A and B are shown apart, each in its own frame.
Chain A
Amino acid sequence: MHPRPDAPALLDVARETLLDEETLAAVPDAVRYRLRMAANAMAIAAREVRAGDADVERHLALLGDLYGADVVEAAGRTPAERASAMQRRLARDIRDGVLDGACAPGVRALLLEQVRRRLAVSNPRHLRASGLDEG
């Protein structure tokens, strides 16, 4: 549909331009900080686009292991809808204590996997610094 480069590749090159020695040298310190923030936002956005639907699918599969695939399937029409509805249910069940006890190890594993995927997009360096891989 669109000519190349695609969205993440455009973000990559835009980011490189912002972080170019020449660009950074031309601006005062306070502005440099803002450029770095903008570059960081672009890096996160590029990683999120590259992760695509795989993260949602994986998350839904894990929720299926916990609640049953049929329950997840019935939670919404699209994967995004199902993920959002199940996320709400999971949050509520945890608060209400429904998942205390025997379920706890499974819930913990699911949550860690979710956090690992979120960090792989938002801050992969923090993931590595904490001794976890990006998977």
Chain B
Amino acid sequence: MSGSTVPVGDDEVTARAVGAFIAEAAGADEVEIGAISRLAGGAVQENYALDARIVGGGHHGEHQLVLRTDAPSAVATSLPRATEFAVLQAAFEAGVKVPEPLWSCDDRALIGRPFYLMRRLPGVAAGHRLVRDRALDPRRDALLSSVGAELARIHRIRPPWPGLEELEESPPVPALARVEELRAHLDRMGTAQPVLEWGLRWLERHPPPIEEIVLTHGDYRTGNYLVHDGTLSGVLDWEFARFGDAYEDLGWLCARCWRFGRLDREAGGMGDREPFYRGYEAVAGRPVDRHRVAYFEVLAAVRWAVIALMQADRHLRGEQSSLELALTGRMVPEMELDVLLELDAIRTGAR
């Protein structure tokens, strides 16, 4: 992970405030904060790398940390930082590979927004780099197997779960609730989207059989896990976690829209589906229903299209003038094609 130096606000003021907060939270005598640099990625959350030298208390020593906070224009559908911190804690305690969550601060007085601190893990998350990295080629099957295994570990967390009382209860049929939620987003934007409606109508008419409700990551895809020395080092970006259908995560990872230009590598642009499924099955102790995943890939295409429309809408309404957001709106036809092709594949029995 590399970053440029872009301070949260005033660099020194922020460093002092964060240092004082850590000192109190960690029961330290003194905390010294080094340079703060913004990490790449995240239109909704901002992540900053910072080094802390802690003197005294239980955390005495040098620490490489990440400070995570809301971007100025946070999306309503993502979790508040404190809830995300609780999810990260639950995942960490359940043995999922995640950055160890350390301290959470809900007090806006410190840096202007809620934030939390976690341990910084080594590795690369950027999807386009992981997909193109030739050095990974001999390890792709093994890597995907651990991407599957880690997801199954997340899915072992089931409601009710200590520490996750803040998370909303899952609707009885999460997929149908998603359909309603996505329609509501389209209606709020006042945009007419026949192809997305076509996908939503099909999803509504073909609800999958009910499965057990688990903790879903909500954005489990290439780009949101770290790879270090050819192995998975951590799962990032938990802001969309919720109780729901495990297959939503499986479909999201495999969806055509998250393959970073490698449409032929059906598991996240990284490789074949089978090693991913087998890694999942080995930990979950039950088989992955391949057809059921296809349903959730249709849902994934529609969902990402709606998110892209919402991002473009922020630009269109003048909330945040941004070329990146504007171009995200122009990606929608890609997801529309995904919806139609995926439905064709399901109809002809190819999936």
Give the B-binding residues of A (Cβ under 8 A). 30, 34, 37-38, 40-41, 44, 84, 87-88, 90-92, 94-95, 97, 100, 107-108, 111-112, 114-116, 118-119, 122-123, 126-127, 129-130, 132
Contact = CB atoms under 8 A, between A and B. Distances in A.
Given A41-B323, A115-B337, 8 more contacts: A40-B327, A91-B192, A94-B194, A94-B197, A100-B205, A115-B333, A122-B333, A126-B337
A37 B200 CA distance: 31
B263 interface: yes
A66 B323 CA distance: 37
B195 A37 contact: no
B102 interface: no
B341 interface: yes
Contacts of B193: 91
B334 A126 contact: yes
Main DSSP-derived SS at the B contact region: helix
A39 B118 CA distance: 37
Given A111-B340, A119-B333, A119-B337, A88 B200 contact: no
3 shortest A-B CB distances, which residue pairs?
A118-B333, A91-B192, A94-B197
Contacts of A119: 333-334, 337
A34 B218 CA distance: 29
Nearest to B335: A115
Contacts of B228: none
Interface of B: 4, 183, 192-195, 197-198, 200-201, 205, 261, 263, 323-324, 326-327, 330-334, 336-337, 340-341, 343
A115 B195 contact: yes
Nearest to B341: A130
15 contacts: A37-B327, A40-B327, A44-B330, A90-B194, A91-B192, A91-B197, A92-B192, A94-B201, A95-B183, A95-B200, A107-B198, A111-B198, A118-B332, A122-B332, A130-B263
B327 A115 contact: no
Nearest to B4: A30
Contacts of B205: 100
A41 B331 contact: no
Contact of B340 (A90, A115, A122): A115
Contacts, number: 76
B129 to A, nearest CB: 13
Given A123-B333, A126-B337, A130-B263, A114 B197 contact: no
A52 B93 CA distance: 58
**Residue of A100, A108, A115 ringed by the most chain B CB atoms within 10 A:** A115
B323 A94 contact: no
A116 B326 CA distance: 20
A127 B200 CA distance: 22
B340 A112 contact: yes
Contacts of A108: 198, 340, 343
A88 B183 CA distance: 14
A6 B60 CA distance: 66
A91 B182 CA distance: 14
A40 to B, nearest CB: 6
A101 to B, nearest CB: 11
Nearest to A108: B340
Contacts of A84: 192
Nearest to B200: A95
Contacts of A130: 263, 337, 341
A45 B184 CA distance: 30
Contacts of B198: 94, 107-108, 111
